[in-house]
Chain A
Amino acid sequence: MTVAISVQNLKFRYPDGKEALRGISFEIADKECVGLVGPNGSGKSTLLLHLNGLLPESLPKSPDVMIYGRALGRETATEIRRDVGLLFQDPDDQLFCPTVYEDVAFGPQQFGLSEQKLKVAVMKALEVTALAGHEHRSPHHLSSGEKRRVCLAGVLACEPRVLALDEPTSNLDPRGKRNLIQTLKSIPSTKIIATHDLEMVVELCSRTIILDQGTIVADGPTHSLLGDEQLMLSHGLEKPHILRHLHPH
């Protein structure tokens, strides 16, 4: 089994001294879908930022993160960013081009795709996210669900092997959520999803990692972890309703 993501004893401290990650270790296999859950401030977003080298600001000589066998260091960071597509929490931060088409094309363009290949990649990504026909719209005319889909398309256009998603369903209405979950189901890449949406984790992720105050407190099959009422409550979480139904406790 190919190892997609390998993290060894990852530690991180913010400039103001706050310890965000206190020695995280885990491995994610190719094509696995892992949910990353935990209370606010547990370090979920910070961890995701380490997966494509955005943090730490100056990458270490002996990196703690390996993506498909390659160590994430200063020289490899740009290449690895092609392999790890990061979807940020606030679509407005990620949707910075004047039109939908230009924004989705940004990644492939930066990574040096030719004009024709670019167009193909962009149109394919727009198809997958049900945005075909919206190429010429401006971001400020889009709804928040549409913005999120554009961001996803922008990430997919680079054809990454790993999708790292930060709160993908936040601020979405039920239909938007449903569509996003369906779309994610159809994408075969390795996925790691940081989220509060435990219902989505149950639906999409076979495995869950629970993070609390910068350490991994549990790592295992989704149903057993999220179904464990005690475990959930002790880490500021709640057993999702869908599991209450299946496991009357």
Chain B
Amino acid sequence: MRHDFLDRYSRLGSPIHRLPTALKLLATFSLILATVAVPFSSLWFFVVAAGLLLIVAAVSAIPWLFIFKRLLLLEPLALGIAVMALFQPNGTTIFLSIVTRSTLCLFTVILLSNTTPFENLLRALGRVGAPRILVTILALMYRYLFVLIDEGERITRARMSRTFSTNRVRRWQALASLIGQLFVRSTERAERIYAAMTARGWK
């Protein structure tokens, strides 16, 4: 499946994967809260945190290249905002502090999401008291994400086999047409899903 870049490693068998979800969530939140709150002067904390995350990553058997690529994907945005922080007194320290914290937090979430299947996260959310309607919508959204990506690819491929120009206006039109078609198909599919849910007794 081409789109399994979104969910390729969440079901491996490493010790980290097998930890209970509640524990992983708790650890994630605690680490993120600490990383955000600890003053930058206590550098030891950040070093220890980084070491901890690296060990967890190693045990989790997730390919390093994958982790690296994910980090790389998200860093530019963080850097972009952080750069603005340079324009103020004490800017350099603030910049370093932000970049360190955000990178560590990114790393933590990447590890969490790639060692825990999404439905486990949802179940945990439900147990913590998230409203049922929200959990249902999140579950449906996640489930149909992959279906929509497939449909989007199909629409794009069909169009690309009939498009010969690369001028920008055409590309915008193609994009808008893709989005429009995807929206219409999504609403139609939603109707069919509702029918299927009702057919099996949903109210």
Instruction: Note whether A and B contact each other (Cβ less than 8 A).
Output: yes
Which residues of A does B touch, CB under 8 Å? 49, 52, 54, 78, 81-82, 86, 88, 90, 92-99, 102, 106-107, 110-111, 138-141, 154-155, 158
Nearest-neighbour CB distance to chain B for A11, whole angstroms, equals 20
What separation, in Å, do the CA atoms of A92 and B142 have in the docked complex?
A: 13
What separation, in Å, do the CA atoms of A97 and B193 have in the docked complex?
A: 11
What separation, in Å, do the CA atoms of A97 and B7 have in the docked complex?
A: 16
Q: With a CB–CB cut-off of 8 A, which chain A residues contact B144?
A: 92, 96
| Residue in A closest to B149 when the chains form the complex, CB atoms | A140
A81-B198 contact in complex given A92-B147, A99-B119, C-beta closer than 8 Å? yes
**Are A140 and B140 touching (Cβ within 8 A)?**
no
For residue B76, CB closer than 8 A to chain A, the reply is: no
| Residue in A closest to B119 when the chains form the complex, CB atoms | A98
Contact partner of A140 (CB less than 8 A), chosen from B143, B197, B203, is B143
Q: With a CB–CB cut-off of 8 A, which chain A residues contact B203?
A: 78, 110
For residue B95, CB closer than 8 A to chain A, the reply is: no
Q: With a CB–CB cut-off of 8 A, which chain A residues contact B4?
A: 140-141
Number of A-B contacts (CB under 8 A): 76
**Are B7 and A138 touching (Cβ within 8 A)?**
yes
For residue B192, CB closer than 8 A to chain A, the reply is: yes
For residue B200, CB closer than 8 A to chain A, the reply is: yes
What separation, in Å, do the CA atoms of A95 and B142 have in the docked complex?
A: 12
| Residue in A closest to B190 when the chains form the complex, CB atoms | A93
Contact partner of A81 (CB less than 8 A), chosen from B119, B147, B200, is B200
**Are B199 and A52 touching (Cβ within 8 A)?**
yes
**Are A98 and B192 touching (Cβ within 8 A)?**
no
Nearest-neighbour CB distance to chain B for A161, whole angstroms, equals 15
A/B interface sample: 27 pairs, CB < 8 A: A54-B198, A54-B199, A82-B201, A88-B195, A90-B192, A92-B147, A93-B196, A94-B193, A95-B143, A96-B143, A96-B193, A96-B196, A97-B139, A98-B117, A98-B118, A98-B122, A102-B119, A110-B201, A111-B201, A138-B119, A140-B3, A140-B4, A141-B4, A141-B7, A154-B200, A158-B200, A158-B201
Q: What 13 additional pairs, Cβ within 8 angstroms, besides A49-B195, A81-B199?
A: A78-B203, A81-B200, A81-B201, A82-B201, A94-B196, A97-B139, A102-B119, A110-B201, A139-B146, A140-B3, A140-B7, A141-B4, A158-B200
What separation, in Å, do the CA atoms of A139 and B142 have in the docked complex?
A: 11
Q: With a CB–CB cut-off of 8 A, which chain A residues contact B118?
A: 98
| Residue in B closest to A107 when the chains form the complex, CB atoms | B200
Nearest-neighbour CB distance to chain B for A178, whole angstroms, equals 24
| Residue in A closest to B6 when the chains form the complex, CB atoms | A140
Q: With a CB–CB cut-off of 8 A, which chain B residues contact A88?
A: 192, 195-196, 199
For residue B189, CB closer than 8 A to chain A, the reply is: yes
3 tightest CB-CB pairs across the interface, nearest first? A110-B201, A98-B119, A107-B200
Contact partner of B195 (CB less than 8 A), chosen from A54, A98, A102, A155, is A54
Question: Which interface class (under 10, 10 to 19, 20 to 34, 35 or more) fits B?
Answer: 20 to 34
Nearest-neighbour CB distance to chain A for B70, whole angstroms, equals 19
Contact partner of B140 (CB less than 8 A), chosen from A86, A90, A96, A141, is A96
What separation, in Å, do the CA atoms of A139 and B197 have in the docked complex?
A: 16
For residue B1, CB closer than 8 A to chain A, the reply is: yes
Residue-wise interface mask of B (1-25) relative to A, using a CB-CB cutoff of 8 A (1 in contact, 0 not): 1011001000000000000000000
What separation, in Å, do the CA atoms of A106 and B139 have in the docked complex?
A: 13
| Residue in B closest to A93 when the chains form the complex, CB atoms | B192
What separation, in Å, do the CA atoms of A139 and B117 have in the docked complex?
A: 12
| Residue in B closest to A78 when the chains form the complex, CB atoms | B201
Contact partner of B189 (CB less than 8 A), chosen from A93, A139, A158, is A93
| Residue in A closest to B198 when the chains form the complex, CB atoms | A54
For residue B202, CB closer than 8 A to chain A, the reply is: yes
| Residue in A closest to B140 when the chains form the complex, CB atoms | A96
Nearest-neighbour CB distance to chain B for A56, whole angstroms, equals 13
What separation, in Å, do the CA atoms of A73 and B158 have in the docked complex?
A: 44
Which residues of B104-140 have CB atoms within 8 Å of chain A's CB atoms?
A: 117-119, 122, 139-140
A140-B146 contact in complex given A93-B189, A97-B139, A98-B139, C-beta closer than 8 Å? yes
Q: With a CB–CB cut-off of 8 A, which chain B residues contact A82?
A: 201
What separation, in Å, do the CA atoms of A155 and B197 have in the docked complex?
A: 11
Q: With a CB–CB cut-off of 8 A, which chain A residues contact B200?
A: 81, 106-107, 110, 154-155, 158
| Residue in B closest to A99 when the chains form the complex, CB atoms | B119
